[in-house]
Amino acid sequence: MDTTQITDAPPPTDSPAPQARRKGPGRMGDKIFLGLSRGSGIFLLVIMAAIAIFLTYRAVLAINKDDGNFLTTFEWNTGIVPPKFGIAVLAFGTIVSSLIAMLIAVPVAVAIALFLTHYAPRRLRGPIAYVIDLLAAVPSIVYGLWGALILVPHLNGLFGWLNDYLGWTGLFAWDEGPARSLLTVSILLAIMILPIITNVSREVFGQVPQMHEEAALALGATRWEVIRMAVLPFGRSGVISASMLGLGRALGETMAVATVLSPDFDIHASLLNPGGGTFAQNIASKFSEADDFGRDALIASGLVLFVITLLVNGAARLIIARRKEYSGANA
Amino acid sequence: MKLQRKNRRALALGALAVSGALALTACGSDDTGSKGSDSSSSAATSNSSVKCDDAKGQLLADGSSAQKNAIDAWVKNFTQACSGVQVNYKGSGSGAGITAFTQGTVAFAGSDSALKPDEVTASKKVCSGGQGIDLPMVAGPISVAYNLSGVDNLVLDAPTIAKIFKGDITKWNDPAIVKLNPSAKLPDLKIQAYHRSDESGTTDNFTKYLKAAAPSEWTFSGGKAWQAKGGQSAQGSSGVAGGVKQTNGAIGYMELSYAKDGLNSVAIATGAATPVKASSDGATKAVAAAQVVGTGSDLSLKLDYTTKAEGAYPITLVTYEIVCDKGNKSATLPATKAFLRYIASTDGQGVLSGIDYAPIPDAIITKVRSTIEGLS
């Protein structure tokens, strides 16, 4: 009611002068802002297209000369004649290590976020949140060094235990080498993506309308029931978005993986034995000695990572869109 | 609220500074530390032999990281004598070095392997009227180092090494190893064979040796990428050395300067009277058995990996400096010639053995010197 009055017929008091002043530049500002934001949007699309075109062009150059099948060859040898390389092992390693990292990190991150928002004493919340922020700022090479020097020697116990009790599955068989396998990488990646998932989830859980929680409490819910019925459904799409941010980091992580993994071009049934590899790790370790052709081949593998990342983000958007009924807008 | 936000910003800034510093210090690559500078300062007394001529300006170079420490030592001595020249060698890898050279962005490149025919063709664009040539400057023994408590003097031959690295021999008390080491107490322990996960001239030379000396065992085609399946792998010589150090029962190959602090080098049974341990002297002797196969002023070498010469250590890597024989850029030619002249000189080559590299034998380095004088 009030707003229509202001625009249609300004109140007779002292407001006309400021109103006029606001009107002119306001429209101009709108136009500039529209132009700017539209321009930025188009600019982003142009950059993406340029990257895709560059990658595709170089990739096609390399794949045309590939003697093996680019998708199924278990080998990466660009220096020999004829060159033979394929991404099967890299795709497998990238996806498996990221998925396991997610399986470990997401539950822990959600638990920490819930603890911080609903259980922790108020004066603990700030410091813990700061520490998590700091963890997110540690560069990945530092995680890599920590992983290689401290995590790897200390994982022998866990690997031995897994081998003793779950070795019969084949998935956790271990032949007592240093623990530099895909599972080690997954654990390290889980630690690396934990802060970002925790922080975003914490923000989301902090946004849960007080009314919902109070309503649930009024109906006699326990604190856990409040979380289950009010907090988690409200935060679900936020947690999914946070997880996708983490997954993005895990998929593209380079130096930490290169430092910790003992890569080879084979797919092993066991997660504990050394071997495998990821796209980013392979690019980092092969790039400096590669000739022009070798670089094109690495770029071709980079293109595949680009596509996988796009697919993952697309899938995440679909999931979030389907869960719209839980979002805050309808609350 | 406001106060809190301010705190947060300060904290974030602090975190950024700390992590930034960490990131910067973490950037150093395969560097074996101060060893190079120690010995170069002792050699610096004799740098009166450096002839600067009219060299000045900045000399850019890039390439093999295997010779980075040698170049660093040389640069230190050279720039002490010729203060007008700044030599800037980035050890970003042989492939990157050759690419930079064929694009004309560096005066010379360092490489673990000689130019391939298509790279020579590419170099003709930069070297007007000439082409890129290889000058052997540094030899380096590649040590096969192991970590096995209680065993100090392990002897292995090429077929056994090949079988270990391709996974056919998996235990330290395998009959083949026992036969070569009758007096050693070899445990019933699994062998962890480490190779390089990145592409590397070290791998290239190591597998060339296996292919030449154990052709029936090592049937892979070779190259800078490791081809055998299985085993452990790590990034860079430093990564391999670190991995072998961490694991009892591990074995790996690396440049000699990394094979220390708890690592023992394998003595190779070459067919000579006594097995040969990796040493800079042994590497020079092995290079002496090499043949010059380059044509014209190109001096690329073909090493004899099966040499049985007394004391010659066969697993040896030679790094080349790559320059144009004709058509070097006139601005950097005097500085290039002066620097190469110094590193090929007796003094320059003398620096090498103190830092776990090996000088090029006389017969070959004499040819290198006369080629340098002819550069234009």
Question: What are the pLDDT digits (tens) for A157-195?
Answer: 999 999 999 988 888 988 888 889 999 999 999 999 999
Asked if A133 lies within 8 A of B15 by C-beta distance, the reply is: yes
> Which residues on A lie below 8 Å from B201 (Cβ)?
289
Q: Give me the pLDDT at residue B10, please.
A: 53
Q: Give me the pLDDT at residue A322, please.
A: 80
Q: For chain A, which domains are there?
A: 44-330 (1.10.3720.10)
Rounded-to-integer distance, Cα B376 and Cα B374, Å:
6
Q: With pLDDT > 90 as the criterion, what percentage of chain A qualifies? A: 50
- Measured between CB atoms, which of B65, B227, B229 is closest to A77? B227
Q: Which residue has the tokens 């708890």?
A: B262
pLDDT score of B54 more than 80 = no
Mutate to test the interface with A, among B207, B226, B233 (most CBs of A within 10 A): B233
- With CA atoms as reference, the chain A residue closest to B243 would be A178
By the 8 A CB rule, do A142 and B22 touch? yes
φ and ψ at residue B199, rounded to 5 degrees: -75, 145
Instruction: Report the gap between the CA of A323 and the closest CA in chain B (Å).
Output: 33
CATH 3.40.190.10 residue ranges of chain B are 57-138+318-374, 142-282
> Residue B298 CA to chain centroid, in angstroms?
20
Q: Give me the pLDDT at residue A5, please.
A: 45
**Largest interatomic CA distance in chain B:** 82
Q: Give me the pLDDT at residue B140, please.
A: 92
Q: What is the DSSP letter of B321?
A: E
Asked if B26 lies within 8 A of A177 by C-beta distance, the reply is: no
> Which residues on A lie below 8 Å from B119 (Cβ)?
291
- Measured between CB atoms, which of A130, A142, A263 is closest to B233? A263
Q: Which residues of B are annotated binding-site positions? A: 64-66, 94, 112, 200-202
Asked if A289 lies within 8 A of B94 by C-beta distance, the reply is: yes
Q: Give me the pLDDT at residue B44, please.
A: 43
Q: Give me the pLDDT at residue A77, please.
A: 87
Q: Give me the pLDDT at residue A303, please.
A: 92
Model pLDDT for residues A295-327, shown as the tens digit of each residue = 999 999 999 999 999 898 898 888 888 866 555
pLDDT score of B12 more than 90 = no
Q: Is the pTM for the entire model greater than 0.95?
A: no
Asked if B246 lies within 8 A of A178 by C-beta distance, the reply is: yes
Rounded-to-integer distance, Cα B186 and Cα B172, Å:
6
> Which residues on A lie below 8 Å from B223 (Cβ)?
77, 79-80
Q: Give me the pLDDT at residue B295, please.
A: 85
Structure confidence at residue B93 as a pLDDT band (50, 70, 90): confident
The angle at the Cα of A145, spanning A256 to B35, to the nearest 5 degrees, equals: 125
Instruction: Report the gap between the CA of A224 and the closest CA in chain B (Å).
Output: 30
pLDDT score of B158 more than 90 = yes
> Which residues on A lie below 8 Å from B18 (Cβ)?
137
Q: Closest Cα to residue B337, out of B370, B296, B299, B375?
A: B375
Q: Give me the pLDDT at residue A68, please.
A: 86
Model pLDDT for residues A71-114, shown as the tens digit of each residue = 998 888 888 878 889 999 999 999 999 999 999 999 999 999 99
Asked if A77 lies within 8 A of B229 by C-beta distance, the reply is: no
Domain B142-282 has CATH 3.40.190.10: yes
- Measured between CB atoms, which of A76, A77, A262 is closest to B234? A262
Calculate mean pLDDT across residues B213-224.
90
Model pLDDT for residues A236-278, shown as the tens digit of each residue = 889 999 999 999 999 999 999 999 999 988 888 899 988 889 9
Instruction: Report the gap between the CA of A268 and the closest CA in chain B (Å).
Output: 10
| DSSP string across A252-314 | H--HHHHHH---BS---S-SSSB-B--HHHHHHHHHTT--HHHHHHHHHHHHHHHHHHHHHHH
| Greater model confidence, B295 or B160 | B160
Rg of chain A (C-alpha set): 26
Query: Mean pLDDT of all residues in chain A?
Result: 87
Q: Give me the pLDDT at residue B83, please.
A: 86
Mutate to test the interface with B, among A134, A289, A293, A298 (most CBs of B within 10 A): A289
Structure confidence at residue A24 as a pLDDT band (50, 70, 90): low
Asked if A288 lies within 8 A of B92 by C-beta distance, the reply is: yes
Q: Give me the pLDDT at residue A46, please.
A: 97
Rg of chain B (C-alpha set): 23
Rounded-to-integer distance, Cα B70 and Cα B357, Å:
7
Chain B segment 92-121 residues within 8 A of A by beta carbon are 92-96, 98-99, 119
CATH no. of B57-138+318-374:
3.40.190.10
Q: Give me the pLDDT at residue B286, please.
A: 94
Q: Which residues contact A211 (CB under 8 A, 6 or more apart)?
A: none
Structure confidence at residue B91 as a pLDDT band (50, 70, 90): confident
Structure confidence at residue B16 as a pLDDT band (50, 70, 90): low
> Which residues on B lie below 8 Å from A257 (Cβ)?
none
Q: Give me the pLDDT at residue B348, please.
A: 93
Rounded-to-integer distance, Cα A74 and Cα B333, Å:
46
pLDDT score of A15 more than 60 = no
Model pLDDT for residues A189-215, shown as the tens digit of each residue = 999 999 999 999 999 998 888 888 899
Instruction: Report the gap between the CA of B239 and the closest CA in chain A (Å).
Output: 8
Mutate to test the interface with A, among B16, B119, B224, B251 (most CBs of A within 10 A): B224
Model pLDDT for residues B296-351, shown as the tens digit of each residue = 889 999 999 999 999 999 999 999 999 999 888 888 999 999 999 999 999 999 99
Chain B segment 211-240 residues within 8 A of A by beta carbon are 221-227, 229-235, 239
Chain B segment 36-65 residues within 8 A of A by beta carbon are 65
Q: Give me the pLDDT at residue B96, please.
A: 86
Asked if B95 lies within 8 A of A288 by C-beta distance, the reply is: yes
Model pLDDT for residues A217-228, shown as the tens digit of each residue = 999 989 899 999
pLDDT score of B228 more than 60 = yes
> Which residues on A lie below 8 Å from B198 (Cβ)?
285-286, 288-289
Mutate to test the interface with B, among A65, A281, A288 (most CBs of B within 10 A): A288
